[in-house]
């Protein structure tokens, strides 16, 4: 728990109340309201959690005003530049970067679980070929709890670690299988001699009939994208995982709930929505029309890939992704990707527009990721699956942190009731109007 050095006072109905104020390592102080209802009979009201910290955490820190993102204290730019994804996964899970021996053991532990129970591949046959791959992922990840009974006991640290290894190791296999199923190609088994990102790319784009040629530029770009998407404080899907975990649900069910929450276009589904939006804009000349629609209060249209609940500056992940974008397109000799040209022009115009400046709307992580995925040949419907693949490391780390928290209790928000006061029952024969 943060240090309790300060107090906050407020007066309600002539009575003065005092509440402890907690300070973290960085970021805003927090008024501890956990005793508020008991002491004052009052709830707080904050439906979008705009001003509410749901937990303490030592994993990730975002400075929204400065556009800074730290994983266990390391800047995202330094990690994206110098690490590979499993190194960052180790950092998020255990709190420090691994040394050479620790890294080798961790890679071995993950590789040991990269195969999926052979019977689970039958699940995919039950889906339509055109099922959205996120629908498949919610189903198959949840079903892991029907197969891996020796890693369901959340009170056993060894079983928690085994479940974590299985989730991190199997997500690429399951994600690639969802894609292969959609195009009617055979599943490829993982290859433990390949790195995590390379293994994933091969399972996605390789064929059993020929050797898959690993492209180091694409592997580096995929690895970097996975690192950038790995964790992000208490976003909607991570909060969903924590809430599910607080009830004692098994780890596979918790991660499946995170995948479901990530699917929304306001959250992880935005990368798919960005490409769909760029395709709808279609032409540089139509950009002002869409910028105006985004500003029109009577139009529900929003500029996908722009804005963020926390970042009121450039999303540092977008900065790194913008660079990767150019690297991947030049490696693939994609000279003029019309969608990238559109994206760059849209970004240029939006960043100069009064409305976007006043509302502090900058490109976020989803603005560029879709363009890279598309250049790699990933279909739009798979973009959020790749986000879920990366974020499953953060979900697992946050779930572990929550379960290990000694004061952890089931999450159960209250509400401000605005329904009918209690009223007498009226039998159906006496109900004159629908409103009764």
CA-nearest of 340, 357, 258, 261 to 306 is 357
Assess 312 for contact with ligand SDX (CB under 6 A).
no
Q: How many residues does the chain have?
A: 436
139, 267, 314, 351: which one contacts ligand SDX (CB under 6 A)? 267
CB of 268 to ligand SDX, least distance (A): 6
The answer to whether the CB of 380 falls within 8 A of the CB of 272 is: yes
Per-residue binder mask for ligand SDX (CB under 6 A), 11-50, x = binder = -------------------------------------x--
The answer to whether the CB of 169 falls within 8 A of the CB of 113 is: yes
Residues between 235 and 254 with contacts to ligand SDX, criterion CB under 6 A:
235
CA-nearest of 194, 197, 156 to 175 is 197
Can you tell me which residue has the tokens 């709307």? 361
**Active-site amino acid positions:** 308, 366
The answer to whether the CB of 196 falls within 8 A of the CB of 86 is: yes
Indicate the residue among 117 and 302 with the shorter CB distance to ligand SDX.
302
CB of 304 to ligand SDX, least distance (A): 5
Indicate the residue among 194 and 225 with the shorter CB distance to ligand SDX.
225
CB of 354 to ligand SDX, least distance (A): 13
Determine the Cα–Cα distance for residues 434 and 436; give it in Å rounded to an integer: 6
Assess 343 for contact with ligand SDX (CB under 6 A).
no
Q: What's the CA dihedral at 87, 93, 99, 105 to 10 degrees? A: -80
42, 266, 334, 357: which one contacts ligand SDX (CB under 6 A)? 266
Q: How far is CA 281 from CA 272, 342, 348, 370, 376, in A?
A: 14, 8, 15, 15, 22
Assess 364 for contact with ligand SDX (CB under 6 A).
yes
Query: Taking contact as CB under 6 A, which single stretch among the options 85-93, 139-147, 163-171, 265-273 is the one that binds ligand SDX?
Result: 265-273
Assess 160 for contact with ligand SDX (CB under 6 A).
no
Assess 98 for contact with ligand SDX (CB under 6 A).
no
CB of 271 to ligand SDX, least distance (A): 8
214, 302, 337, 344: which one contacts ligand SDX (CB under 6 A)? 302
Determine the Cα–Cα distance for residues 81 and 62; give it in Å rounded to an integer: 19
306, 362, 395, 399: which one contacts ligand SDX (CB under 6 A)? 306
Indicate the residue among 159 and 239 with the shorter CB distance to ligand SDX.
239
CB of 264 to ligand SDX, least distance (A): 8
Packing angle of the helix pair 157-182, 383-404 (nearest 10 deg): 170
CB of 308 to ligand SDX, least distance (A): 5
CB under 8 Å to 251, separation ≥6 — which residues?
A: 145, 151, 152, 154, 160, 163, 164, 167, 245, 396, 399
Largest CA distance in the chain: 79
Determine the Cα–Cα distance for residues 28 and 26; give it in Å rounded to an integer: 7
Size of the site for ligand SDX (CB under 6 A): 22
Q: How far is CA 354 from CA 312, 346, 358, 359, 360, in A?
A: 15, 14, 6, 8, 10
113, 160, 308, 322: which one contacts ligand SDX (CB under 6 A)? 308
Assess 309 for contact with ligand SDX (CB under 6 A).
yes
76, 138, 188, 294: which one contacts ligand SDX (CB under 6 A)? 294
98, 172, 258, 307: which one contacts ligand SDX (CB under 6 A)? 307
- Phi, psi (rounded to 5 degrees) for 18: -125, 135
**SS3 labels along 61-85:** EEECCCCEEEECCEEHHHHHHHCCH
CB of 345 to ligand SDX, least distance (A): 16
Interface with ligand SDX by CB under 6 A: which residues? 48, 232, 235, 266-268, 270, 294, 302-310, 359, 361, 364-366
């Amino acid at each position: 728990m943060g240090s309790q050095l300060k107090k906050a006072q407020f007066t309600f109905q002539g009575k003065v109340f005092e509440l402890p104020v907690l300070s973290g390592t960085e970021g805003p102080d927090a008024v501890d309201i956990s005793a508020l209802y008991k002491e004052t009979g009052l709830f707080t009201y904050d439906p979008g959690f705009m001003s509410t910290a749901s937990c303490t955490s030592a994993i990730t820190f975002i400075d929204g005003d400065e556009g800074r993102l730290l994983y266990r204290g390391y800047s995202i730019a330094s990690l994206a530049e110098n690490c590979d994804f499993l190194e960052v996964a180790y950092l998020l899970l255990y709190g420090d970067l691994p040394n050479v021996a620790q890294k080798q053991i961790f890679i071995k532990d993950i590789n040991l679980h990269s195969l999926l129970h052979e019977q689970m591949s039958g699940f995919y046959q039950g889906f339509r070929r055109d099922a959205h791959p996120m629908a498949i992922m919610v189903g198959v990840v949840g079903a892991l709890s029907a197969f891996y009974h020796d890693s369901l006991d959340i009170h056993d640290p060894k079983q928690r670690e085994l479940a974590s290894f299985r989730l991190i190791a199997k997500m690429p296999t399951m994600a690639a299988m969802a894609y292969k199923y959609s195009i009617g190609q055979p599943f490829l088994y993982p290859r433990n001699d390949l790195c995590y990102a390379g293994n994933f790319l091969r399972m996605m784009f390789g064929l059993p009939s020929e050797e898959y040629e690993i492209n180091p530029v694409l592997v580096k770009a995929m690895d970097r994208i996975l690192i950038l998407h790995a964790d992000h404080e208490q976003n909607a899907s991570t909060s969903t995982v924590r809430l599910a975990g607080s009830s004692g649900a098994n780890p596979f069910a918790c991660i499946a709930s995170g995948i479901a929450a990530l699917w929304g276009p306001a959250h992880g589904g935005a990368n798919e929505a960005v490409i769909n939006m760029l395709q709808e804009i279609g032409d540089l000349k139509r950009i002002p029309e869409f910028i105006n629609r985004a500003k029109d209060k009577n139009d529900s249209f929003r500029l996908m890939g722009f804005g963020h609940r926390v970042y009121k500056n450039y999303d540092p992940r977008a900065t790194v992704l913008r660079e990767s974008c150019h690297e991947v397109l030049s490696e693939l000799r994609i000279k003029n990707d019309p969608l990238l040209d559109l994206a760059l022009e849209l970004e240029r115009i939006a960043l100069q527009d009064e409305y976007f400046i006043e509302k502090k709307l900058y490109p976020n992580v989803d603005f560029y990721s879709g363009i890279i995925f598309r250049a790699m040949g990933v279909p739009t419907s798979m973009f959020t699956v790749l986000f879920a693949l990366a974020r499953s490391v953060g979900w697992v780390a946050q779930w572990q942190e929550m379960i290990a928290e000694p004061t952890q209790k089931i999450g159960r928000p209250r509400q401000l009731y605005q329904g009918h006061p209690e009223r007498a029952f009226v039998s159906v024969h006496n109900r004159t109007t629908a409103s009764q």
